[in-house]
Copies of this chain bind each other. A is one copy, B any other.
Amino acid sequence: MEAANLIEGISGTGPLAARRRGILFVMSGPSGVGKGTIVKALLKLQPELKLSVSVTTRQPRPGEEEGVSYFFRTPEEFQRMVSAGELLEYAQFANGFYGTPRRFVEEELLRGHNVVLEIETKGAIQVKERVANGVFIFVLPPTMEELHERLVKRQSEAAEAIRQRLAIAMDELNYLPFYDYQLVNDDLEVAVKKVQAVILAEHCRVVRNLSTY
């Protein structure tokens, strides 16, 4: 009978199916690699995914919207959030602090929704330590030259800032072994297809289905 219950739960029709938590997907990788573009395309195809909006102290870039791109906050307010334990992770970069509000992520996961985090490597490592069973995806540039070109094209930063970002990107590659999946962002459609495959495959993992018992 135990085995029969197992199947009932597995097939998603059993009484335990509703209790299943959502999965946290963390999209990470060097700045300028195109994480944001992949996530945007992904959300169009799978609007049921909940995107976590980060908090930052940096200035908005043209076209960025409060509460959609980021929550733009003063350094003082950011510090208060850190002290109050309201951030799941945070990190400082050349242009300011970035962090992930904890409550949104935890509530959506409890509701059984899948959450997407698009964050830098430093933050991802912190999340990995705190969220058991998160799925960590590292987005790679086709080459470092390509990454440099992308940063230059963005035209939002001075040459020195770009050089800093590239140096950081090289350093971030050392964290690759801490991630579950990797994909090269050379073809957006292929990259998005790979993320979708990861999402579907992770839902089929036995450990995730057994963990509700």
Contacts and interface: CB of A to CB of B under 8 A. Distances in A.
Contacts of A11: 140, 142-143, 184, 186
Nearest to A145: B4
Interface string A165-202: 00000100110110111111010000001101111111
A69 interface: no
Copies of the chain in the assembly:
2
Interface string A117-131: 000000000000000
Interface stretch (A56-64, A93-101, A203-211): A203-211
B143 A173 contact: no
Q: Is the interface of A mostly helix, strand, loop or mixed?
A: helix
B176 A205 contact: no
A202 B181 CA distance: 8
A3 B194 contact: no
A209 B142 CA distance: 15
A7 B206 CA distance: 31
A176 B138 contact: no
A45 interface: no
